[in-house]
Amino acid sequence: MFAKPSIDQFQELRQHMVEAQLKDRGIQNTAVLSAMTTVPRHLFVSENLHKQAYSDGPLPIGHGQTISQPFIVAYMSQIIDIRTGQRVLEIGTGSGYQAAILAELTDHVYTIEIVPPLAQSASKRLQNLGYRKINTKQDDGYYGWPEAAPFDAIVVTAATEFIPPPLIKQLKEGGKMIIPVGSPFSIQHLILVTKSRGKINTRNLMPVRFVPFRRSK
């Protein structure tokens, strides 16, 4: 019989994840590393997956969705380079893990989830864990969050076939958006979108695999 890992064991697993999966692969931003060391990733998956929560891959969170691999969460958080006080929008709350990481970086986090039960459970989980400042809503993230725009950064965690125009519009001048683009059944690329002097620039960062971006009917 296995003993349940204690809180300390999770801390150790988390520290190991940060060293082996993040630092060794080029994540250097100290605020991001500290966030990844702090947020209890195991509490964002079901109890039977707690022991796998710090492994090097995505994990199921129900409703056919997944929580991204730790490296991808850290990479996306690092590349948008947000500072305290800046506003960030996430599309695809899922478990709420990426939103919690973002909340360690700034007090102004907005996150949208299209699947109602996931939106509800993530919102409750974030409340219970003390992330009371995160603004959550259940909606189709294609339209962004116009009332809270413009954003310094936008993080999209589901793969779109094209970049939703409302999200480009809601990006601040000088802002950064990170978004997986491509068809659900073929190769997708993580794209960095920047807006400078009203002009949109895109940079292809790496091939990735995300769950598909859905649309409300």
Under the rule (CB under 6 A), what is the footprint of ligand SAH? 61, 65-68, 91-92, 94-95, 97-98, 112-115, 118, 140-142, 157-158, 211, 213-215
Judge whether 95 counts as a catalytic residue.
Answer: no
Of the pair 56, 174, the CB lying nearest ligand SAH is at 56
By beta-carbon proximity to ligand SAH, the closer residue of 10 and 142 is 142
- Distance between CA atoms of residues 54 and 48, nearest Å: 13
What span, in angstroms and rounded, lies between the C-alpha atoms of 174 and 152?
Answer: 7
Handedness of CA 32, 18, 213, 192 (dihedral sign): positive
DSSP letters spanning 148-196:
G--EEEEEE-SBBSS--HHHHHTEEEEEEEEEEEE-TTS-EEEEEEEEE
* Closest CB to ligand SAH among residues 29, 95: 95
Report the candidate in 89, 93, 84 with the shortest Cα–Cα distance to residue 126: 93
| Minimum gap (Å) between residue 3 Cβ and ligand SAH | 28
CB 92, min distance to ligand SAH, A? 3
Q: Closest approach of Cβ 150 to ligand SAH, in Å? A: 19
> Which runs of E-coded beta strand occur in 85-134?
87-91, 108-113
Nearest to 42 by CA among 86, 19, 11, 80: 11
CA 99/CA 67 separation, integer angstroms: 11
Considering beta carbons, is residue 157 or 170 the nearer one to ligand SAH? 157
CB of 46 to ligand SAH, least distance (A): 13
Q: Does a cis peptide bond (omega within 30 degrees of 0) precede residue 117?
A: no
Give the integer Cα–Cα distance in Å for 140 and 58. 23
* Per annotation, catalytic residue among 6, 34, 46, 68: 68
Q: Which lies closer to ligand SAH via its Cβ, residue 26 or residue 117?
A: 117
Least distance CB 100 / ligand SAH (angstroms): 8
- Known catalytic residues are 68
